């Protein structure tokens, strides 16, 4: 069984995203962290596989033969997803310094020449600077869920979660709670996972 990605042979192990990255090809994957199991929430990793459009992070590589990350259709769909994602954050909020992966959204937008103003921005302004090591600025949050997964599935703490529905959904350490008065242990795994500067280190570690 052979697998090719954009014509390049790739190992048919793990997920299609693993295969794409192993072939040395760039592909956004905003809700997948190398430290965590796939979440499959952001849809920025869409590829065309044997004629279907699938989320690469959640598709087993062994079930496909030909994968294309390029192509008018799949690139347009990804650009659309990215432009919708961009509408979730405030203009300028991605320029702030952040954790090790904070530049992922900005890089994905740039690589797809996505327009940042295609859809009206849904600005959220809450922020939480009560933790002495990091702060949270909701205006840069895209609700990918990596921080929540890091807190729950990696560290098994469960200090933060997604609350609310639809446009009111947000990441929070509990209704009306702050990081400081939550059960957060400040392990920083959420900061390490965040693909934008929403969760960003403070003081000593800020560049």
Partner 1 sequence: MTRRVPTTCPYCGVGCGIVLNVDDSGRIAWVDDDPANLSSVGMLCVKGRFGATFVNHPDRLTTPLVRRDGVLQPATWDEALDLVARRLPEYRGRFGSFASAKATNEDAFVQQKFVRLVMGTNNIDHCTRLCHSPSVEAMLQQLGSGATSNSYADFEAAGCVVVIGCDPGSNHPVIASRLRRAIDDRGVRLVVVNPRRIDLCDRAQVFLQPEPGADVALFNGMARAILDAGVEDRDFIASRTEGYAAWEAAVLELTVEQHAALAAVDAGLLREAALLIARPPAPVGHPPAGRPGTCLLWGMGITQHTQGTANAHALINLALLTGHLGHPGAGISPLRGQNNVQGCGDSGCIPDSLPGYQRLDEGNLASFEGAWGASPPAQPGLKATDMIERILAGDIRAMYIVGENPLLSEPNLHHATMAIQALDFLVVQDIFLHETAALADVVLPACSFAEKDGTFTNSERRVQRVRPAIAAVGESRPDWEIICDLARRMAPGAGVARGQFEYASAAGVFDELARLTPFLRGLSHERLDREGGLQWPCPTPGHPGSPVLYAESFPRGRGLFVPVRQGSFADETPDADYALILNTGRVLYHWHGGTLTRRVRGLLARVDTVPVAIHPDDAAPAAISGGDDVTVYSRRGRLRGAAVVTDAVRPGSVFVPFVKLNESAANFLTNNAYDPQSRIPEYKVCAVRIEKGHAARRRDAAATGALRPQGEAAIDHEPVPGHE
Binding residues (CB under 6 A) for ligand FES: these are 29-32, 40-45, 55, 57
For residues 129 and 85, give the distance between their C-alpha atoms in angstroms, rounded to a whole number: 24
Binding partner of 207, given partner 1, ligand FES, none, CB within 5-8 angstroms per partner class: partner 1
175-to-12, 48, 126 alpha-carbon distances in Å: 44, 40, 13
How many residues contact partner 1, by CB under 8 A? 22
Q: Which of 1, 2, 34, 52 binds partner 1 (CB under 8 A)?
A: 34
Is residue 187 within the footprint of partner 1 (CB under 8 A)? yes
* Cβ at position 132, least distance to partner 1 in Å: 4
DSSP state of 168: G
Q: Are 15 and 61 in contact (CB under 8 A)?
A: yes
202 binds, among partner 1, ligand FES, none (CB under 5 to 8 A by kind): partner 1
Enumerate the H helices of 6-132 as residue ranges: 16-22, 72-86, 104-111
Number of Cβ within 10 Å of residue 175's Cβ equals 7
181 binds partner 1 (CB under 8 A): no
The CB-of-185 to partner 1 minimum distance in angstroms stands at: 6
Q: Among the candidate windows 14-22, 50-58, 72-80, 154-162, which touches partner 1 by CB under 8 A?
A: 154-162
All residues at 6 or more sequence positions from 186 whose CB lies less than 8 Å from its CB, including other chains = 131, 132, 133, 134, 179
Report, in Å, the least distance between residue 146 CB and partner 1. Answer: 13
Residues 6+ apart with CB under 8 A from 42: 29, 30, 31, 81, 85, 142, 144
Which residues of the chain form contacts with partner 1 (CB under 8 A)? Answer: 34-35, 99-100, 132-133, 154-157, 185-189, 192, 201-205, 207
């Amino acid at each position: 069984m052979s697998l090719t990605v954009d014509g390049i042979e790739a190992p048919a192990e793990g997920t299609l995203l693993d295969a794409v990255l192993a072939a040395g090809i760039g592909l956004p994957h905003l809700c997948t962290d190398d430290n965590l199991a796939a979440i499959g929430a952001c849809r920025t990793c869409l590829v065309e596989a044997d004629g279907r459009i699938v989320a690469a992070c959640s598709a087993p590589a062994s079930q496909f033969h030909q994968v294309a990350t390029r192509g008018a259709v799949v690139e347009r769909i990804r650009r659309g997803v990215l432009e919708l994602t961009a509408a979730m954050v405030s203009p300028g909020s991605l320029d702030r310094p952040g954790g090790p992966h904070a530049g992922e959204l900005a890089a994905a937008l740039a690589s797809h020449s996505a327009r940042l103003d295609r859809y009206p921005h849904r600005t959220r302004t809450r922020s939480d600077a009560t933790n002495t090591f990091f702060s949270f600025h909701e205006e840069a949050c895209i609700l990918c869920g990596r921080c929540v997964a890091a807190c729950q599935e990696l560290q098994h703490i469960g200090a933060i979660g997604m609350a609310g529905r639809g446009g009111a959904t947000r990441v929070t350490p509990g209704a009306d709670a702050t990081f400081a008065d939550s059960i957060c242990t400040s392990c920083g795994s959420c900061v390490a996972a965040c693909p934008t500067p929403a969760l960003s280190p403070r003081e000593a570690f800020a560049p």
